[in-house]
Chains A and B, each alone.
Chain A
Amino acid sequence: MSQSFIEQKNVHHSLGMTDADVIKIYRTMRLARLFDERSELLQRAGKVAFHVSGQGQEAAQAAAAHALDLAHDMFFPYYRDYAFVLGVGCEVSDLMLSLFAKAADPFSGGRQMPGHFGYKAKRIVTGSSPVTTQVPHAAGFALVAKMRNQPSVSFVTFGEGSSNQGDFHEGLNFAGVHKLPVIFFCENNQYAISVPYVKQMACAKVSDRAAGYGFPGVSVDGTDPFEVYAAVKTARERALRGEGPTLIEAQMYRLMPHSTSDDDSQYRSKAEVQAERERDPLPRMLMYMMQTGIWDDVKEAELKAECVKIINAATELADKAPYPVAEDTLKHVYEGD
């Protein structure tokens, strides 16, 4: 994996990004990580039932969000995408209300598990638990964008294990045939629960699969926000030119167990996880910013304090927020219910 962006000083300038862009991506990553760590603690303390972690995947998520058009594009995130949804405009309090399954949870009103996003006002399409069902939906939105000649791109994410599902292949094929404006973004974190990449597929890279559908597939270092940003930008421009979809595979590592219900020592060694922590995108991004001179210890301390304040306030708000009313269980099966 490349250490390149840390060694270089001005990757972001060469990509046309400002210092503020970099700081924004970093802030999103930082906020997502703190939310994630707090969620783990809340679960262990018995305050919430379940958490599914996105640690290790924040760089790719935050950078991708930053490369998209928040006024036009449509988003189909999967369950680890906390940094992504924060990057497209969700608040930590939204995530917390969902984690606590409270009535004010904007994703589902406390109905769905945490990590099941959906927020029309933020252009996030509602998602579910059966993996990869969102992929054809993204193609459907892109079809409508094409029909209506709107400058909108569908951005859909999923894990590498999920790229074995029929809906992945059917969705990519459909989008390829009709040259639809879709970015298929695979967050390859090397495991599908306990099953490693090599037991999920026989092709060397997830991105190899795009060849079967007649459009480009690229693999990038998913711990390098600049590589991800550039790939998403390129894919977006291609989509807007009417040239069709792109499959991006962001290669990374799932630093935590699959979920709070999983014990990863059953299928991977501590040494392996420890070695992968060297590639944790968060400290590496920090190092880059320090070396580039756009960041310093004071700014870092300030940001951390600000983020902790946000997390604390959101936790308190969600903890105190009311649950949905029991009888509302019956609502919204059909229109008018």
Chain B
Amino acid sequence: MAKISYLEAIRSAMREEMERDADVFVLGEDVGVKGGVFHATKGFYEQFGEMRSLDTPLAESAIAGVAIGAAMAGMRPIAEMQFADFIFPATNQIISEAAKIRYRSNNDWNCPLVIRAPFGGGIGGALYHSQCPESVFFGTPGLKIVAPSTPYDAKGLLKASIRDNDPVLYFEHKKCYHSITGDVPEEDYIVPIGKADVKREGHDITVITYGLMVHYVLRAAEELSKEGIETLVLDLRTIQPLDVDAIIAAAKQTGKVLIVHEDNKTGGVGAEVAAIIAEEILYDLDAPIQRLAAPDVPAMPINPIQEKFYMLNPDKIAAKMRQLAEW
């Protein structure tokens, strides 16, 4: 075991996969000579050369579209969107093309593509360097969507995504890059796509979440523990397909469920999680399903007062958890 950062977990997953499989390569804006604006591909240009850490023109639809072509041609491209906020020019390629290639060709073609997109706020990134765009893609059959919270999951899920034979959107939280460190095995491993993970056991309330919010929820759970409230924290890890069994089991365990996400509330992943629980085990619940998410405004402002207002934090989450526990 070695303690590494979330960013190093992502970098080492790519490096190891590129060493293992000559068909894996990265492409995107500034991923070559510079090694990426967040340094996710630092050293790749030197180690793997220009063609496998390919600086592309500033054109996201081409980054996705060329990667889709390369994937259909038998490669395993990792396309980097510099910020998840700038994935939208590529949306047509992702939703109309990557997601539908296997289905529309009746299994003749497939598209083993990973699109990495640094997402999320709390970093002073303003409206266009802070967004959580997952709900735009969520509910698009044919896509898999992951959003790891820890270095262990980040590395294992990225390796699984690269080896997957279908397109995977890999949302990595910018605020986790350096702030989150954790133990990661020396040996090769994967975290299977589609499997949620209980990050904390508890019998009073259940919180279901993903991404950076996992850490905030865990901190809130520590606070509540001092008050005698024990929280089960389920980290979805994969947003699509959702781990329905794990969601049901976690909800059943306590009968009180709060869903937390950084993305805004309406039409978010939480709505689907809530619907699944309501559909399957409504009468096992002891309280109405709760959601805590960002307000339904277009995106977060840059000034610190409003950014703080927009973003969830452990205190806001703890308050909501207390409410639920007392229901």
Contact = CB atoms under 8 A, between A and B. Distances in A.
Interface of A: 74, 105-109, 111-112, 116, 118-120, 125-126, 128-130, 133, 135-147, 154, 166-167, 170-171, 173-174, 177, 331-335
Given A120-B109, A333-B103, A137 B68 contact: yes
A177 B57 contact: yes
Given A140-B73, A143-B70, A116 B107 contact: no
Given A130-B96, A136-B93, A140-B71, A171 B101 contact: no
A133 B109 contact: no
B302 interface: no
Interface of B: 25, 51, 56-57, 59, 61-62, 64-75, 77, 89, 92-93, 96-97, 100-110, 141-142, 144, 164-166
Contact of B70 (A108, A128, A140): A140
8 contacts: A125-B69, A133-B65, A137-B69, A140-B70, A140-B72, A147-B51, A171-B66, A331-B106
Contact of B103 (A105, A142, A332): A332
Contacts of A129: 96
Contacts of B62: 136, 139, 167, 170-171, 173-174
Task: List 6 A-B pairs, minimum CB-CB distance, nearest first.
Answer: A140-B69, A136-B65, A109-B106, A170-B62, A137-B69, A126-B105
A270 B100 CA distance: 40
A316 to B, nearest CB: 23
B234 to A, nearest CB: 23
A183 to B, nearest CB: 14
Contacts of A333: 102-103, 141-142
A141 B65 contact: no
Contacts of A334: 102, 142, 144, 166
Contact of A332 (B69, B97, B107): B107
Nearest to B101: A126
B256 to A, nearest CB: 33
Contacts of B105: 107-108, 118, 120, 126
Given A128-B96, A140-B65, A177-B57, A118 B104 contact: yes
Contacts of A118: 104-105, 108-109
A335 B144 CA distance: 12
Given A108-B104, A137-B68, A331-B107, A167 B74 contact: no
Contacts of A133: 65, 92-93, 96-97
A128 B72 contact: no
B104 A174 contact: no
A143 B107 CA distance: 24
Nearest to B102: A332
A158 to B, nearest CB: 13
Contacts of B65: 133, 135-137, 139-140, 167, 170-171
B57 A126 contact: no
Contacts of A141: 69-70, 72-73
